[in-house]
């Protein structure tokens, strides 16, 4: 695991270190050659096409196939978010089966499930803001399918800690594991965890034949649950220094692209809306990461308030923002984001159907 990068030059250099061949063979392993790029992609610093083109400048299409396939997952979830809108907050394909409560097993909050690989991954999430994809699946499965929590509260907790927090990828992945955005629930047994995490744990509550997992009684260690108060304390911001004869460019924590309208002589404002963070809080560590990434945009000023409050400060000849599900309510001209597969606008119900459409344009 590498530390979070915040300088733009370092982030671009990290893209050029992606090893697409090793990635294809090892991505499921805890120490596999994953890219660690999601914090920069999710924050809008890097676009998916940029990452793909840089990788294709060093690898053939065949070599880069698996990596691009995984990039497409992100695009799929974004497309789903546009299509489904607020419906991503409720069970999509059908109600979650067998859940008992709407809170979070305490053992996840305190990294004391007794499954050593999972506890280590939760500790890592708390201290670094990152968790490997396979571990995210294990944690979600433990919470929803073994600990019988509804997916909504634990997904919110994970989102809070993730530097790459993304409402679509997070919510829809949790729903996928819980069986409300897929045809069946995802289960993992101890041998699967041992294999991909290089552990050798025996006799845990997950050390049972795979077929028995769906019928496990609730393990004692997951039986206590609670609902922590997750909050984001947005910083106090000094009064904005704006030039009202120049356009206004509005950024948010998902659109921190230093190249966007770079040549434009404009006011640049990072907008953090309290209402958004009340609904979808992020941790202090994640907030600092956002603010540090914003420093790559020359002249940007921070405004913590509603977009209407920002407009009240003055009127501008033009207002622009980058289009993202979180910016659709801005009274601005929205620039289309860069898509990997702009031709495939409609995302069908399954990723593989989406990918089949995309593959034609590879």
- Residue 153: HSE in the Cβ half-sphere, 13 Å Cα cutoff: 21
Any idea which residue has 């890097």 for tokens?
A: 46
Cβ 224 vs Cβ 106: under 8 Å: yes
Query: Cα 214 from chain centroid?
Result: 27
Question: Which one of 165-173, 255-263, 304-312, 317-325 is the stretch in contact with ligand FAD (CB under 6 A)?
Answer: 165-173
Among 6, 38, 103, 113, binds ligand FAD (CB under 6 A): 38
For residue 34, what is the DSSP state?
A: -
User: What whole-number distance in Å separates Cα of residue 286 and Cα of residue 125?
Assistant: 11
- 34 lines the binding site for ligand FAD (CB under 6 A): yes
- 165 lines the binding site for ligand FAD (CB under 6 A): yes
- 164 lines the binding site for ligand FAD (CB under 6 A): yes
User: What whole-number distance in Å separates Cα of residue 268 and Cα of residue 257?
Assistant: 12
Distances (CA, A) of 206 to 34, 98, 113, 121, 281: 26, 18, 11, 17, 32
**Cβ nearer to ligand FAD, comparing 45 with 248:** 45
CB of 181 to ligand FAD, least distance (A): 11
CB of 208 to ligand FAD, least distance (A): 22
- 15 lines the binding site for ligand FAD (CB under 6 A): no
Cβ 45 vs Cβ 313: under 8 Å: no
Strands (E), 48-115: 104-105
CB of 318 to ligand FAD, least distance (A): 31
**Cβ nearer to ligand FAD, comparing 44 with 258:** 44
Among 11, 88, 153, 162, binds ligand FAD (CB under 6 A): 162
Size of the site for ligand FAD (CB under 6 A): 27
Which pair of tokens denotes residue 119?
């506890």
Cβ 228 vs Cβ 104: under 8 Å: yes
- 140 lines the binding site for ligand FAD (CB under 6 A): yes
Interacting residues of 249 by C-beta distance below 8 A, sequence separation 6+: 260, 261, 264, 266, 267, 268, 269, 319, 320, 321
Question: Which one of 65-73, 107-115, 269-277, 332-340 is the stretch in contact with ligand FAD (CB under 6 A)?
Answer: 65-73
CB of 49 to ligand FAD, least distance (A): 12
- 174 lines the binding site for ligand FAD (CB under 6 A): yes
**Cβ nearer to ligand FAD, comparing 50 with 73:** 73
Among 159, 205, 289, 330, binds ligand FAD (CB under 6 A): 159
- 46 lines the binding site for ligand FAD (CB under 6 A): no
- Positions in the binding site for ligand FAD (CB under 6 A): 27, 34-38, 41-42, 70-71, 73-74, 77, 133, 136-137, 140, 159, 162, 164-166, 169-170, 173-174, 177
């Amino acid at each position: 695991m590498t530390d979070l990068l915040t300088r733009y030059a370092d982030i671009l250099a990290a893209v050029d270190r992606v090893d697409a061949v090793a990635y294809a063979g090892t991505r499921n392993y805890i120490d596999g050659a994953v890219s660690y790029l999601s914090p920069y992609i999710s924050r809008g610093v890097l676009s998916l096409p940029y990452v793909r083109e840089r990788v294709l400048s060093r690898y053939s299409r065949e070599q880069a196939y698996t990596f691009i396939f995984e990039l497409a997952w992100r695009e799929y979830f974004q497309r789903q978010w546009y299509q489904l809108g607020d419906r991503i907050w409720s069970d999509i394909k059908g109600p979650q089966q067998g859940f008992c409560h709407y809170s979070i097993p305490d053992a996840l909050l305190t990294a004391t499930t007794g499954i050593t690989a999972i506890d280590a991954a939760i500790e890592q999430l708390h201290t670094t803001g990152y968790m490997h994809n396979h571990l995210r699946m294990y944690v979600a499965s433990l919470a929803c399918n073994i600990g019988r929590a509804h997916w909504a509260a634990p997904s919110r907790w994970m989102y809070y800690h993730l530097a790459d927090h993304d409402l679509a990828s997070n919510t829809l992945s949790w729903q996928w594991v819980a069986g409300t955005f897929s045809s069946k629930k995802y289960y993992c047994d101890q041998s699967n965890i041992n294999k991909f995490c290089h552990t050798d744990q025996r006799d845990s509550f997950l050390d049972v034949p795979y077929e028995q997992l769906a019928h496990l009684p609730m393990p004692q260690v997951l039986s206590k649950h609670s609902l922590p108060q997750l909050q984001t304390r947005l910083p106090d911001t000094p009064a904005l220094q704006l030039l009202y004869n120049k356009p206004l460019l509005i950024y948010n924590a998902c659109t921190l692209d230093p190249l966007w309208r770079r040549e434009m002589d404009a006011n640049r404002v990072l907008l953090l809306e309290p209402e958004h963070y009340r609904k979808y809080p992020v941790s202090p560590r994640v907030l600092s990461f956002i603010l540090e990434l914003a420093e790559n945009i020359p002249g940007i000023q921070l405004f913590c308030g509603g977009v209407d409050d920002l407009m009240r400060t003055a009127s501008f000849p033009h207002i622009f923002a980058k289009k993202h599900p979180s910016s659709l309510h801005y009274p601005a001209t929205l620039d289309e984001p860069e898509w990997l597969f702009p031709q495939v606008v409609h995302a069908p119900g399954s990723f593989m159907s989406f990918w089949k459409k995309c593959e034609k344009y590879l």
